[in-house]
Amino acid sequence: MLNYFFQHKGLSSYTFRPTFYDIRKEQRCLMYNFVSRLEVTKMPSTGQKPGKGTYTCTSCGQSVTLDDHTDTLPPCPKCNGTEYR
């Protein structure tokens, strides 16, 4: 029915529908952008200087606040964990 409508108007139905190749190409672009962002947003760990802010230990949930951009992340004061979010 839809093809008849497009043919009657002198249009190709493919003008309005993306091809299978275009869909795959879009999915590849989305996946590439997703992976790129993952690489940029690595979790800070002990010894790094991630900047001012409050960081939460991934093991126990204890918060550590850094007041200066030159401060290094210490081990977690509660569990000695080294990974923060």
pLDDT digits (tens, 9 = 90+) for 17-73: 555 556 677 777 777 777 666 655 578 899 999 989 999 999 999 999 999 989 999
29/50 same-domain check: no
72/85 same-domain check: yes
Domain of residue 18 covers: 2-40
pTM of the model: 0.53
71/54 same-domain check: yes
- Count of helix runs (H) and strand runs (E) in the chain: 2, 2
34/8 same-domain check: yes
The H or E element spanning position 23 is helix 20-40
48/36 same-domain check: no
34/51 same-domain check: no
Contact 49, 70 (CB under 8 A): yes
CA dihedral 58, 68, 72, 37 (to 10 degrees): 50
pLDDT at 77 over 80: yes
**Residue 80, CA distances (Å) to 11, 45, 69, 70, 74 in order:** 67, 11, 22, 21, 9
